[in-house]
Amino acid sequence: MAELYDAIVVGAGPAGSYFAYRLAKLGHRVIVFERQPKVGDSVCCTGIVGKECFDRFPIAFNAILAEASSARLFSPSGKLLNLHKETVQAYIVDRAAFDNALAQRAQEAGADYLLSAKVDDIAIVDGCVRARVEHDGTMIKFDSKVAAICNGLGGPLPKALGLGKIGDSVAGAQAEVSANGVDEVEVYFGQSIAPGFFAWLVPSSAGKALVGLLTRRNPGSYLKKLLTMLHAQGKIASDEVEFTYGGIPLKPLRKTYGERLVVIGDAAGHVKPTTGGGIYYGLLCADMAADTIHEALCSDDLSAKRLARYEQRWKEILARELQIGYWGRKLYENLSDSQIERIFDLILSNNIHEELLQSPDFSFDWHGSFILRALKHKALGKTVRSMTKSTPLP
């Protein structure tokens, strides 16, 4: 006999657990299914979360490992651009601890969690959502009024439910290293380092750092090369380390709601296409989804028409950001190393970074206005626009 919940949640990442917390707190019966045996298992993430996210969602402070107010950017040939702000811009969190803190909060609010529970199928039958869940070698059915799909990038559920699939994504690889003496976030650009994207060295806990990169193909082989380079430079103690892998969506899902359904977080493409950061946007969308589902449960109307309000809400805040960010990403992806060098030279010789960092459009989490401001900059804008012939402005 299937058990009836108000909401089932697929995936105990930040989006799933925050959605579960909000809905349970509002008095609804919620169950979260997580396919891993432990929350936060096998996560591949650097854990950089903007200060605005912690201001907006005062949660999981215990997961913070370090603060970041500056970054060192390296051009393909090794020129250094120092970005510095007087105040904290972001925190570096232990992702497993962050996810666990959110899950604990959801459980304290009354949500049930079932681990080692992989949702294989979701169907809308007889006026309810029926989830088929593989748990401990057996198949169990759970019924609910509504389902939130928060299972990260990939997986067949959104497409099987007629919501489409993520149209563009990028692959990432990362490793934890011993790195005494690295006290600032470092970012590396160049076709031979991370083609089309970038790589990073991020100090985390004492003497440790995360080295990773994003690229369209072979992230593992580029990471191996990067580690060899950093080891040769004396920045890391060893290049013999284990890798983790993960993908990042660059475009939103065609449709993020349906009858009795919402899709949230990476599964919906709620990620900054510029940097690949998805935690904050996932939490923002989980918040909006919880508001919409609460209203719909209270009025006993879980039709697609009613749940469309969720997509309207997140699009009002994020759609333009995602569009301009994706445009900026594609522009950068098409630059050659010599074009990136020219941009570095121009910025360094005119101190353009200082000017842009002081502008009101600078934000760790919102890049749309900043990109447009940079394009309007007298010297920088002209140079960048001359490199963008095949990429129409947004």
Q: Where in 93-122 is the site for ligand FAD (CB under 6 A)?
A: 118-119
The three-state secondary structure class of 208 is strand
- What are the residues facing 142 on neighbouring strands? 3, 131
∠ CA 168-173-179 to the nearest 5 degrees? Answer: 145
Question: Applying CB under 6 A, which of residues 63, 146, 230, 248 lies at the interface with ligand FAD?
Answer: 248
75 touching ligand FAD, by CB under 6 A? no
- Toward ligand FAD, which CB reaches closer, 24 or 49? 49
152 touching ligand FAD, by CB under 6 A? yes
Distance CA 339, CA 69 (A): 28
Q: Which stretch binds ligand FAD (CB under 6 A): 32-40, 187-195, 326-334, 367-375?
A: 32-40
Site string for ligand FAD, 2-21 (x = CB under 6 A): --------xxxxxxx-----
Q: How far is CA 252 from the centre of its chain?
A: 12
Distance CA 7, CA 162 (A): 20
In whole angstroms, how close is the CB of 14 to ligand FAD at the nearest point?
4
Most distant CA pair in the chain, distance: 71
In whole angstroms, how close is the CB of 212 to ligand FAD at the nearest point?
5
374 touching ligand FAD, by CB under 6 A? no
Q: Is 131 within 8 Å of 142 (Cβ atoms)?
A: yes
Q: Which stretch binds ligand FAD (CB under 6 A): 122-130, 191-199, 261-269, 351-359?
A: 261-269
Number of residues that bind ligand FAD (CB under 6 A): 38
Q: Is 66 within 8 Å of 266 (Cβ atoms)?
A: no
Q: Which stretch binds ligand FAD (CB under 6 A): 30-38, 232-240, 311-319, 379-387?
A: 30-38
Q: Where in 156-185 is the site for ligand FAD (CB under 6 A)?
A: 172, 174
Question: Applying CB under 6 A, which of residues 252, 258, 276, 325 lies at the interface with ligand FAD?
Answer: 276
Q: Where in 339-368 is the site for ligand FAD (CB under 6 A)?
A: none
Number of Cβ within 10 Å of residue 1's Cβ equals: 5
Distance CA 301, CA 333 (A): 44
325 touching ligand FAD, by CB under 6 A? no
Q: Which stretch binds ligand FAD (CB under 6 A): 22-30, 220-228, 274-282, 383-391?
A: 274-282
- Toward ligand FAD, which CB reaches closer, 317 or 379? 317
Burial code of 332-360, b = ≥16 C-beta within 10 A, e = fewer?
A: beebebebbbbbbebbeeeebbeebeeee
Question: Applying CB under 6 A, which of residues 76, 246, 258, 328 lies at the interface with ligand FAD?
Answer: 246
- Toward ligand FAD, which CB reaches closer, 268 or 352? 268
In whole angstroms, how close is the CB of 44 to ligand FAD at the nearest point?
5
48 touching ligand FAD, by CB under 6 A? yes
36 touching ligand FAD, by CB under 6 A? yes
Q: Which stretch binds ligand FAD (CB under 6 A): 179-187, 262-270, 352-360, 373-381?
A: 262-270
- Toward ligand FAD, which CB reaches closer, 194 or 343? 194
Say what the alpha-carbon torsion angle 113, 117, 123, 129 is, to the nearest 10 degrees: -20
Which residues lie closer than 8 Å to 175 by C-beta, 6 or more apart? Answer: 210, 211, 212, 223, 227, 241, 242, 243, 244
Question: Applying CB under 6 A, which of residues 278, 325, 328, 368 lies at the interface with ligand FAD?
Answer: 278
Q: What six digits make up the tokens of 260? A: 């009795």
Question: Applying CB under 6 A, which of residues 147, 150, 250, 324 lies at the interface with ligand FAD?
Answer: 150
What is the arrangement of strands in the sheet containing 90-93, beginning at the earlier edge strand?
48-50, 90-93, 64-68
Distance CA 30, CA 4 (A): 10
Range list of β-strands (E), 333-373:
none
Burial code of 139-151, b = ≥16 C-beta within 10 A, e = fewer?
A: eeebbbbbbbbbb
Question: Applying CB under 6 A, which of residues 271, 284, 324, 335 lies at the interface with ligand FAD?
Answer: 271
- Which residues of this chain interact with ligand FAD, rule CB under 6 A? 10-16, 33-36, 44-49, 118-119, 150-152, 155, 172, 174, 212, 246, 248, 265-267, 271, 276-280, 282
